[in-house]
Each structure stands twice: as structure tokens, then as C-alpha cells.
Structure 1
């Protein structure tokens, strides 16, 4: 099934689409050309494929698409976990899956279109959409896979609601193509859907077919005509007629043949009829398959493989002859196959030996880094950003409009200092902070450190964290987080306090704000939650036995005079109360005095990815997270309680400087951000 929504333009005029049957999926016809759309002076061929599973098939499918010159294809039933991007043999695939290897959809683009993508929307493992620009025109590609018969009505209703909402979000002046397997019958009779029913269905319409026609009817309101066609047409009739003609001409010969010879003769008749009625690919060099393991091919291997292929063709031709010729051809093919396998093994061993030798050199190490960077770039949704978005989130495709948008952005950035870059970020309450260019730092030994109950992370992996972030974004909008830069000194050099998780990952204390929460108050709340000693779990577990007091953290040899009991108070409970009053860490004086200073950095997360930028790109109208870093002025004496599953590290500034690999881009740039401050080293 496919939809195409066009607009009346000078190039296309009124667009009428009819689907045609193609091997493994579907195609469609515009102006009499099967599977292609005229775009300016080029033809764009679009198709779809229900692949069953993409495991081990990506390169094979890319080769098949290249041979048939398909530019855009929608995949269903990919059955891959997660949502990522892959490249293979010149094509780039965006796919959306779930945590289990079920369902899954994807969109694959040819090499000349993959850099034109401006937006990717992965709704679920059954629906995803890609927006790209073709010749200064915005095109929306939706890949959909409807729930099959037998699943619950709630799941089906959720799918159709999501598809309907996604279609409505596409502007009416942009082109829309929906390729997918919608698992329904539209029936043989229009029954009120004459404007969108092509009249080529069969049987009785079911609920899924009604849902398809309903959405199509909504889309057709005020738009060019959309026609539904089932997998039949004049090409199929022509093909059937040619097969019947070939069989009737050789009926007597077929009756006298053996079973194998009859089979190959029938196959030849069917192939000839398909070539005459459907045509064949041109087979030019640009459409030939590029094998992923052909980099080690040499002339000897090529000659052996060519010899094997020629022997295989001779074997196929001999199957229509006598038995002796078939046996001789089969022996020659087996011998050529053994020689080809031997040549391939020798060439691979020689190539890998040279590769391993090169990896031990300095040039080889550089090659590894280049390969790793190239693979990382290919896994991104967007490669080279060629188009940006306006203030309303619409893609700008004209070069002159793009330059004008950049000019407006930098003009507001450098000339309107008092105007916030993103007007959507608002502060409900006035911010009270300490503004000073001088930062007093005290020795690390001036501070006391203890432990408290573990504060477990909500996510076990980066993928889980991004998934939770996406879920919260759909509920609350853009995520706003604040983090604190706590400064101490050691050996007359500034150090920053970092929380370490495990053995490698470090982060600044802080976290996500509640919707509408003041930034300063929210940062104080987060700091108290992470480092303050006000948790009830900080209370000592006084174990009182007859006349002995047990301290879980050590023993005390001197006598302690606690105080007087209240009238009628139990001796044990009263003793615990007095001990907590004298020795426990729940006094308000134990609370750190968080003095929040200036905001020194603002980082933006444009998409649900790990990469953050110190600016909001102008083509991003809806960033996913805004993170602000504040300097926090510490007093001379403080008590910090660190969760047992975390470590509090004092890291010198010279260790952080330009150390992106160890600490990431946010923390490694803190030394530059603090360069405008003057540090006052105060001895204890």
C-alpha cells in the first residue's frame, strides 16, 4: 500500500497514483511509469518491502535496490532492536524498533538523497517519518506497519490514531508519501468512498480497510485526488497472456519431456514473458552490487571467480540437454569452484597479514581512529546539515532564505544582548544570586565528608536515559537542568568537586528541575539531595544495652554526660534523644550554606542524542534540553554527605582542560568558562 499526496504545481499538475505489484512488496505508477515520480528533470523511484527481518540482509537489500534504481524505500518487519542509523553499499537506513526483536519499520535513501534529511521522527516500532528536501521542495516519507489480524482493538486504535496525528502534522503545501503494510481489505465496492477508492479491490471491506479509507478521505479534503489500487493491472494481464501464448506453442514438446527438462523449459517461458512485458534493468556500472568484502580482491581472484561464473552458466544451459553433458558441466563447475575458493582464501590471508602489519605502525593507529570516526558519523541521523528551520519549525530550502536566516540569528545574538535566545524559557520567580568576579576558595582539608544511604540512578544505560528523556519531553516539554561548580583548593590550585559513578563516569552535582521551578531554588534542592546531611538515614543507629553504647562507626572511650530525662520518659528512649541532640548530624547548622553565583555556561541538546552544544542551532526550533552551569560559593567550613554508591572527587583544573575523552565536552570546558574569574586562595 502507498499514498502520495501532491500539490498542483508547474511540474506535476494533478497527481494520480496507482499501486502495482512488485516482487517482495509494492510500487506505484505516476503518468504511466511504474514506481517512479517525475521531479524536475529527474525521476525519483519510490518503493516498499516487507523484509521479514533485516538481520544479515542489509547489504543484499541495498544491492537489490541499487540494481532496480530505487531512490526511496520503506521497510516493514525489520525486527531490529532499538532505533539507530546504518549505511551499506551507498544507501542509508533509518530504522525504529522496540526492546524486543518484533515489528520494526525503516526508511532507506539512496546516496544522493541521504544528506538532504532535515528531520527524523521515530514514533514507535510501527510508525516512523523522515522529512527531506528534493530540489527545494520538502517531502515527508512515512513508513507504517499496521497491527495484523488477531491483535487487540486497543493496539489497532492506537496505531491509527498515531498515523492520523502524524499525517495531520505535515503541512498541506508539502508532499507526503506513506509506504507500508496496513493489513486490511478495502473491498470491491466504494460505498461512499468514491473519491478515494480506486475500484480495484476485492472481497468485503473489513475494519482495517475502513480505517485506511477514512484517513485517505480526510487527506483528500482540499487536496489532489488519491487513488487506491490493488496489486493487479494491465501489466499483470499482459504477462499472463504472454505466458499462455508461450505454453500453447510448446504443448506437444512439453508432454514428451522429462520432469527436470519440463521444469527448466517452463521457467524459460516465464522469464521470457517477464522480460517482454515488464522489462529488465539496464545493468550499468552504477547499479552493480558493491560487495562489502571485495576490498581484498586481486586480479587472480577476479579471474578465478569469472571462470567459476562461466562454468555455472554452462551448467545451467546443459540441464536442457542429455545426461552426459550435464555430468561433464557439473564436474567442471565443481573444479572451478574449488579453485576460486582456494584463490579467495589465499588473497584474504595475504591482505589481512598486510593489514595487521600496518596496524602496528603509527599510520595504522591513525587509520583506526579515522575508521572509528567515519563509522560514528555514519550512525548519526544527520550527516552534513544543509538546511535549517525558521522560527515556526518549517524547513528553509532556498539558499537565499538560509543566508537571511543566519544573518537574522547572528544579528540578534550580537546586537540584542538583553533579549533571550529562546523565548520559551521563562523564570516564574526572581533569581537571587551572588554576583562577583572574585571566587574565594578554601583548602580541601577545611571540609568534612561523610556518607549516607545510596542514591541509585534511574537508568541503567545511556539508551534508557534517552528513552526516559523522550517520554518526559512528550509529557512536560523541554527538559531544564542545572548543575553546580563547587570550587576548593589544593596546593594553591583550584579544584572542582565531581561525583563519580562506577570507575569512569563523572558528573557535576545537580539535576533536572521540576516544571516551573525556579533555577536557583531548584539547584539548592538538588545540591541538598546529593550532598547535604539532612537525610533521616544519616541518624546514628543507637543500640543501647544495659550500660553499654555501641557506635556503628567506631568506639568512644570517654564518658558522655547527655542530660536530664523528661518526667516519665523512658530511659532508653530519652538516652537516644539526648545522643541524637548532642552528636547526630541533623542539626540545621550542618546544612551547607549554598550561595549560588553566576551562570557561566548554557548547553543545548537539539535531539534525543548524547551530543550537546554550547549554543542552540538556528535550525532547531524545539530543543530537547537546556542545561545551565552555576558557580557555587562555598563557606570556609562545610559538611558533605556523599551517597555510598558515589565518590566525591576533587579534580584540578589542569586535569579537566581539553580532556574531552575523559570528562566529556561540558566538564572539559569549565576551565575556559572560569578564566574570567579571579581566585582568592584562602589558607585555613
Structure 2
């Protein structure tokens, strides 16, 4: 059994095994070592390897002639099975960790049954990485298997600290502020001012869209572009902040002048801060529960559920991938290259095409123009709070502009139908297919 783990760009392979017992046939033992050889050969040379196994052999004390693979601190005399462990270590350029640390006999014996006390469980690592292991011992009293004791070692990986690439988060217009009445009215007013007081919107899409985006940035503001943190003090308010500041000043005053009056003042402020913190938390939770009961609060509920799910995962993002030969790639550049190769092959693969039906007569018919009531009905059915497209204009804007937006969109859609040409921005909008659709 083996496990591969990526730690700060270093691949660590942990291999576990159970060798045949002393009384088993030699053929069975050789088959075990042959399979273990195959496992080691499948691991790239540059990756770390730690083998922890019950080898059912005694490698013995002393290391005369075997200094490159073991230390002096073994247990008892070497037998045939122990020699197989040593031979394997020589073949794979590995070392037996147990033998490099002098311990009391009680912390070296891994197998204990009746009157027998010996060492058959070993930890092996690559010889070049032995310096990364600083300690080893047998944990007395922790039995992970019958008659065997837990064997542990302290491994400190020597890695090159990589400079993480800074994640650029796109700055977005705070369109969600349109839910506030004052922002709603201010946006409409500033937008009309930008059009020179006109009630009718310009005919071309590019001019109208740019005026909308520019007005939104000025009136509603733009996000900082930093990742939003899940703060524990989200319930914080100015009253709590002022009370805590007064408490700090009272504590400083009492530290400088230890009078009973200063002490009493500090204690009173301390109790007051606790009460205000409790009230602020309760008020914030009440507002949260009230908001979650609304239609707009459904999004917050799902967002909280997703955040809880992410927080409960040990690994939130996988940054490694295998190449053509099965080797694990860890660097950002190599991972991106591999994905590029994969999609180039996927998108350029030639597949058999279905034969087209010949001789089908096309039917031409007149398409009615789009009417205002259809646009008005479509806008009413569209949900607010959805993600914006490449044009960075949400549906809330068109709802905010009212009848002027209905007239503009109706005229624009009809021009697109007649000319069979759409604004360039629309070509970058992804089309969401229904389940089962192919085209």
C-alpha cells in the first residue's frame, strides 16, 4: 500500500508493507521483494520515499560492511530475512532509519510476545534524505497490531520556499448597492445628467453601455480587488469600538496609578463592554436571521453553506497533475503546460461526422418585430442579484432605468434581427445549454 503526498512542491511517497514470515517458502519471500522493487522503480528518483513495514527479519547489531545502508544500533543477530532487508536497501540506495539512533532496549523492540522481544518493523528512507530524519523511537503502550508496537520517526522536509503567485481579483462595480433606495435614485439622476438631461437613451449599444458602466463606478463605487475574509468579528459596530477604547484608556490609567477609584472605573467599563458586545452580537444575529427569511437572503444562505463546506475540507484546491508518463507535476508552469497539451489534443481530435441530409428545402418566413410588452415582461421575470456578463451590466440597471430602458432594448433587439449583426461584447457571452442539448 502506498500514499503520495505533495508538500510545498515536494512529493513524499509513504509505502507500507508486510513481508512473509520466517517459516514461509523462499519463493513467496522473493515474490514479495520483487513486488517491492517494482513499487520503488515506479517512483521518480527526485521524490522522497519512506517505507514503514513489518519485514519479519532481524538485521542485527553493528554495521561492518554495510555502513552505507544502516547504523550500529540494531537488535540481536542477523538472519536470512534481515539480510534480504539489507540487500534491498543496497539495491535501492536506501537506509534503515531504526539503526541510526541509540535508544533503550524498550524503545527499540518492535515485537513483543511472551518471552520473545525483537525488532522486525523498520523504517527506510533514501540515503540522500537521511539528514531530514532527526529522531526515531518505538511508542510503548500503543499497539497498532497484535504483538507489534508503533514505530515513529520525526521527518523534516527540506524544501525550497516558492514565491506564490499573487492572485489578481478583478475589481467589480458595486451594483448590489442599487437595492438601497438612495443609491437607486442617485444612479438614475447621475445617468440622466451624463446623457445631458435626455430621457431617451442613445441608439448605439457601445455609447449607452459605457455611460452605464461609468455612472455605476462613480455613484456605487468599485470593490478593492482583495479577497473577502471571513471575519469572526462581523458583528462589530462603532458603539462597541468606542466602549473598548474607553476600557483600554481606563486600564492604562489604573496601571499608572493603582488607586481604588481607578480600579473601580476600569471594572465598571469592563462589565459595560461585555454587555454591549453581547447586545451587538444578538442584534447582528437577529438581522441575519431576518434577512435569511427573505428571497434576497437565500443567496446569503447558500453562500454561508458553501463557506462552511470549504472550511471543513483539509484540501480545498488541488494544484498538481500527472504528465503523459504518470509523473506528478508540481510547478505552476509545468501544470499549465500539461493542461495546454491536453486541451490542444482534445479540441483538435478528428472524429467521424454524421452525414448531412441532402435536398432539404429551406423555408423562409417573416419574423415579427419584438414588442415593448415582451421586453417589459422579460425584464420582470429576470431575477436580481445574478452575476454580470462580459458587459458588466446587471439586470438591476435596466429595471432601474424603467421605460427608457424598455424602449432602448426593444429598438436594439429589432436592429439586431434586421441587420443580423450583434454588438461585439455579446459574442463573448457564454451560452448555457440545457441538459441533453448538444448544440
TM-score by length of 1: 0.23
The structure with the largest strand share of the pair is 1
TM-score by length of 2: 0.33
